[in-house]
Each structure stands twice: as structure tokens, then as C-alpha cells.
Amino acid sequence: MTRTAVYPGSFDPITRGHEDLVRRGLVFVDRVVVAVTTAGGKAPLFTLEERVALARTTLGEDPRIEVRPFDGLLVEFCDSVGATMILRGLRYVSDFEYEYQMALMNRKLAATIETIFLVPAFDLTFLSASLVREVSRFGGDVSTLVHPSVAKALAKKFSGA
Ligand code: ADP
């Protein structure tokens, strides 16, 4: 039996922190489906297509990893890809309240799907996509925080090219 987890997020853009979480997930599941959301109410910096493409490039050619766009109810998406687990990251106490609420709601909607929280590598705990966007907006160096293709895409976005 293939154990599949869905890792949902806006990935605007994907960072080394997200990547770390996918690799940690693969220690105990056979397949991770990265579900790139349309980003709810927030207006994302990158379009859905750009976020999917950057995630695919960052995560590379690994048959155990799939990147898919997703809109709608997460538990239904899990069902459609045969996933029994949802992966989420916990960095700070401030993540906790929202993550806990969401995990309970998803359990209410689908009792058999478990949410698994993972903690990233120590030096990636401070990292968030929003911080990367901010640093990049003002010309700061994000090369150690994201894949080179993401750094390039950010530079292009903010140069107005
Ligand atoms: P969302 O808008 O759904 O929070 P994000 O792309 O910001 O989407 O994050 C997706 C998931 O990845 C969340 O569970 C978030 O906590 C986790 N995450 C983001 N950055 C990191 C990081 N540096 N280390 C661990 N988890 C992270």
C-alpha cells in the first residue's frame, strides 16, 4: 500500500523551509503531493502557474514528489489523490492556533485523515515566504533561503522586467 501525504500551502514562493518539510515527510510516507492553493483571500506575488512551476523546479525530478494546483476543500483533494495524511509545518507558537483549528476542522470533515505537524531544521525555523518576499522587495540577498530559480524569479518580479 502506498502511503500518501498532501502538503498544502500557498508557496508564494516555495522556500528551503518548505523543501525541508517535504524531505522530512518522505522519511515516513511513500509519496508527497504538494498542493499549491489559489491562496484564499490573499493576493499572491506569484500567479498559481508560477508558484507551481517554481515548486516543481525546487523539488526536482523525484518520482515520490508531485506538485499540483488545488482549489476547494482540502479533504476532498486528499481523497482524489488517495492521501490519508496532511503535512503542515510548525515554526512558532504563532503558527499553532491557526494550524490547530484547521486540523480539527479537517478531522470533522474527514475523520480518517490525520494532520501531521513537522518541525523544520533549526536554521530554517525563522524562514517564511512573506519574509523572503519582503527582503527581496528591497534588494536583499535571499540566495541561501530559496532555490536559485526562485531567487531569479523574485529579482525579475521586483525589477519590473
Ligand atoms: P499557508 O498560506 O497555507 O500558510 P505557506 O506556503 O505559507 O502556506 O505554508 C505552508 C506550510 O508550510 C504551513 O504549514 C507552514 O507552517 C509551513 N512552513 C512554511 N515555512 C516553513 C519553514 N520555514 N519551516 C517549516 N514549515 C514551514
* pLDDT per residue as tens digits for the range 24-34: 999 999 999 99
Distance of alpha carbon 42 from alpha carbon 39, whole angstroms: 6
Q: How many whole angstroms separate alpha carbon 9 and alpha carbon 11?
A: 6
Torsion of CA 67, 95, 109, 107, to 10 degrees: 100
Read off the pLDDT band of 161 (50, 70, 90). Answer: low
With 0-12 CB in 10 A as exposed, 13-18 as middle and 19+ as buried, what is 104? exposed
pLDDT digits (tens, 9 = 90+) for 44-59: 999 999 999 999 999 9
pLDDT at 14 over 90: yes
Instruction: Classify burial at 21, counting beta carbons within 10 Å of its beta carbon; exposed 0-12, middle 13-18, buried 19 or more.
Output: buried
Output the pLDDT for position 95.
85
Which ligand 1 atom is at minimum distance from the Cα of 121? 24
To the nearest whole number, what is the mean pLDDT of the chain?
Answer: 94
pLDDT, average across residues 113-132: 94
Residues 13-19 have a mean pLDDT of 97
The mean pLDDT of 111-126, rounded to a whole number, is 94
The helix or strand, by DSSP H or E, that contains position 48, with its residue range, turns out to be helix 48-59
Positive or negative torsion for Cα 53, 56, 58, 60: negative
How far away, in angstroms, is 145 Cα from ligand 1 center? 14
- Ligand 1: distance of its center to the CA of 17 in Å? 8
Cβ-Cβ contacts under 8 Å for 135 (sequence gap 6 or more): 141, 142, 145
Cβ–ligand 1 distance for 91 under 6 Å, the answer: yes
Looking at residue 40, its pLDDT comes to 66
Q: How many Å apart are CA 128 and CA 139, to the nearest integer?
A: 17
Instruction: Give the SS3 label for residue 68.
Output: strand
